[in-house]
Structures are given as structure tokens and as C-alpha cells.
A = this chain, B = another copy of it.
Amino acid sequence: MLHIVPDIDTSEALTERQKAVLDAALRLLVEEGDQLTMTAVARRASCSKETLYKWFGDRDGLLTATVQWQASKVRVAQVDGKGLDLASLTASLERFASDWLQVISSDTSIALNRVAVGHAGSGKDNLGAVVLENGRFALARRLKPVLEAGRQAGLLDFADAETAFRTFFGLVARDVQIRLLLGDRLELTEAAIGGDAARATQQFLALHGAKTGPQGL
């Protein structure tokens, strides 16, 4: 009922050592933000700067590789639509919502998004596109089949899956991500996330749940 599949194989030919280096860079990114230096990465990863440049070309290459490396680790649960009833649909939606809130409130996601947002301004690289592709769009790819299945099963009612997805997204994320990115302290406990996921799911069902009885409008 629930299995994990990578979107794109971005782990192309990365040795264990290289992954370790990228993990070090990632930790540094979380701690220091975009002003991490090549020297700091080399020291933290116990490798030479020469190696960093040989492997990743330049600073932007290292940053890109780091972001892709982390992005390749973010997986959203995938659910198939067999034997769908209201209970399992609700559970699936709540799980998506919960996973997503968990992701966007994690230190790693915040740091990565901060860097990507910063770089999106000066269009040197496409960190923003990478983050978007592995975040928001990956989520949509996973969720839409569930929505479609829900519609097939007569549980949901909507015209356009993309629009329905965006409504769900808005109900789940609300102002959380932008507030976190802007530095607002916003403690999201496990319980709060669960509650928000349930609320968002109920709201979504209220908007797009198929009417059971006869209904105008």
C-alpha cells in the first residue's frame, strides 16, 4: 500500500566519500547558511580544497551537488488507489499533509530553501528549480493520482486536479513556510502537525468531497 520510489536518480556515480563530503557541506549549510566557505567545508569534511574543486568544479557546483544530494533523499510517501474508501483516502491525505509539514519545517529544508531563494535572485544556477522540482512539484506528482483515484471512486469532486492540489497545498502549508524562511520562530510539534494535517484534510474534504445526497449549486 505504500512504497518509496526515487523521482530522478540524482545519486549518479557518487562515491561514499563524496556523499560524506556533501553531507558535511549540508550540515554546514544548515548551521551557517549561504556564507559557508570552501575552507570550512574542506575542514569539516576532512578533505582538501583541491579535492572539492576537482569533484565539484567550483563553489556553485558544490552547492548544487549538495542541494541535489539532499533533494534526492527527500521522498514523499507514494500511495496507490486500490480499494479506496473514504477512510483510506482521508488517511492518505492526512499522511501527505503531515509529511509535507514535517519536511518544510525541518532545519534542512529551511536552510536549503533559503539558499535556493537567495540564488534564484541572481540567476547563476538553478538551485531554485531543483528545490521546486523535488519539493512542490514532486508532491503534486505524488498526490494527484490519489486525488484522481478519489474522484474515480466517487469520493471527491473537482474539475481540475492541479487546482485541487493547489487548494490542498494552501490549506496544509498556509503561512508556515514563508514564516519559517523569514526567521519566525514557529515550533511545530508532532502533535501540532498531526492536528494541522487533520484540519487541512477535513477542510479539503469539505470543499471537494463528493456530495452524497442530492444537492444544488
Nearest B residue (CB) for A206: B207
Q: How large is the interface on A (under 10, 10 to 19, 20 to 34, 35 or more residues)?
A: 35 or more
Contact with B along A165-177 (1 / 0, CB 8 A): 0110111111101
Kindly state the separation between the CA atoms of A170 and B128 in the bound complex, as whole angstroms: 22
Q: Is A132 an interface residue (CB 8 A)?
A: yes
Q: Contact check, B122 vs A182: say whether CB atoms are below 8 A apart.
A: no
Assess the B182–A120 pair: CB atoms within 8 A: yes
Chain A, 175-198, CB within 8 A of any chain B CB: 175, 177-179, 181-184
Tell me, rounded to whole Å, the shortest Cβ–Cβ distance linking A182 to chain B.
4
Listed stretches A7-15, A18-26, A32-40, A82-90; interface member? A32-40
User: Which residues A123-149 have CB closer than 8 A to chain B?
Assistant: 123, 126, 128-129, 131-132, 136
Contacts of A178 in B (CB 8 A): 113, 136, 173, 177-178
The answer, among B113, B117, B174, for a CB contact under 8 Å with A169, is: B174
The reply to whether A118 and B175 contact each other, CB–CB distance below 8 Å, is no
User: Is the beta-carbon distance between A179 and B132 smaller than 8 angstroms?
Assistant: yes
List the B side residues contacting A65 at CB < 8 Å.
none
User: Among the listed B117, B171, B172, which residue makes an inter-chain contact with A117, where contact means beta carbons less than 8 Å apart?
Assistant: B117
Cβ contact within 8 Å between B129 and A121: no
Interface hits, A102-119 → B, CB 8 Å: 111, 113-118
A140's nearest neighbour on chain B, judged by CB, is: B175
CB-CB < 8 A to A166: which residues of B? 174-175
Q: How far is the CB of A165 from chain B (nearest CB, A)?
A: 9
The smallest beta-carbon distance between A194 and chain B, in angstroms, is: 16
Residues of A61-112 whose CB lies within 8 A of B = 111
Q: Are B167's CB and A136's CB within 8 A?
A: no
CA distance A182 to B115 in the complex (A): 10
- Of the A-B pairs whose beta carbons lie under 8 Å apart in the complex, a sample of 13, sorted by A's number, is A32-B121, A35-B122, A114-B118, A116-B182, A118-B118, A126-B183, A129-B184, A132-B182, A166-B175, A170-B172, A181-B181, A203-B207, A207-B207
